[in-house]
Amino acid sequence: MATLDLFGSPAEGARDWLAPQAVVLRGRALSCADELLDAVAAVIAQAPLRQMVTPGGLTIAVASTNCGVLGWTSDRRGYRYSREDPVTGRRWPAMPACFAQLARQAAADAGFPGFEPDACLVNQYLPGTRLSLHQDKNERDFGAPIVSVSLGMAAVFLFGGHERADRAFKVNLHHGDVAVWGGADRLRYHGVMPLEDAPYAQLGSRRINLTFRKAG
Ligand code: SIN
Ligand code: FE2
């Protein structure tokens, strides 16, 4: 496995390219991180974090919720986007303005102008939680990029190829980093290594990831 040696805290404003159309914008969310965290708490108060079940019946380690018009869900019937939260029976909370603005601007910085996300998946990782290699492919078209914002504890992100077995880069993602991938790199496999317990400031032993997509 190739390692992009980016441990330690890279300089805010640095750009680490993982592939021609995949980049980590270092510290891109730092200036609005407190506002993002307040908004995350408000979303979770309306649509609680829950561990979803895969179609195969396995419980997903990451706890999730959503905001925006569409929310990603998984259960025994499959993976899909829905307008209602199956737990509350209500629409997902609206996407906070600071979320949409950051996602739009980060996408443009990464070479994807005009990104208008309609879905934001909020994922919570605790120490030991991992996310196995997968492709994001439940969206209607793959023309729009994925924008992924890291908050709280650092994680080792895996960014691979178009086959599950392709070698993957390991990249440390810190509080405030924003990863963006799209175009020819939109369907690359990616995942997260089991989290080490290194508590970070306000969030303690938690990592929150916001994944913005154009799903519908
Ligand atoms: C994801 O692939 O949906 C999340 C990636 C991350 O948590 O950094
Ligand atoms: Fe993903």
Q: How many domains does the chain have?
A: 1
| Interval between CA 124 and ligand 1 midpoint (Å) | 10
Q: Nearest residue CA, atom 7 of ligand 1?
A: 209
Could you tell me the residue range of the domain that residue 69 belongs to? 3-213
Neighbours of ion ligand 2 (CB under 5 A): 136
Return the CATH number at 23. Answer: 2.60.120.590
Q: Which ligand is nearest to the CA of 139?
A: 2
Task: Give the model's pLDDT for residue 53.
Answer: 97
Q: Which ligand is nearest to the CA of 131?
A: 1
Q: Which ligand is nearest to the CA of 121?
A: 1
- Mutation to probe ligand 1, out of 18, 74, 157 (largest number of atoms < 8 A from CB): 157
Residue reference for tokens 């913005």: 212
pLDDT at 134 over 50: yes
pLDDT tens-digit readout, 136-156: 999 988 999 999 999 999 999
Tell me the average pLDDT across 81-100.
98
Residue 11: band (very low, low, confident or very high) from pLDDT cuts 50, 70, 90? confident
- Mutation to probe ligand 1, out of 124, 190, 195 (largest number of atoms < 8 A from CB): 190
Q: Where are the beta strands (DSSP E) in the chain?
A: 15-19, 22-25, 63-67, 71-75, 78-82, 119-125, 131-134, 146-152, 155-159, 169-173, 178-181, 190-192, 207-213
Model confidence, pTM: 0.95
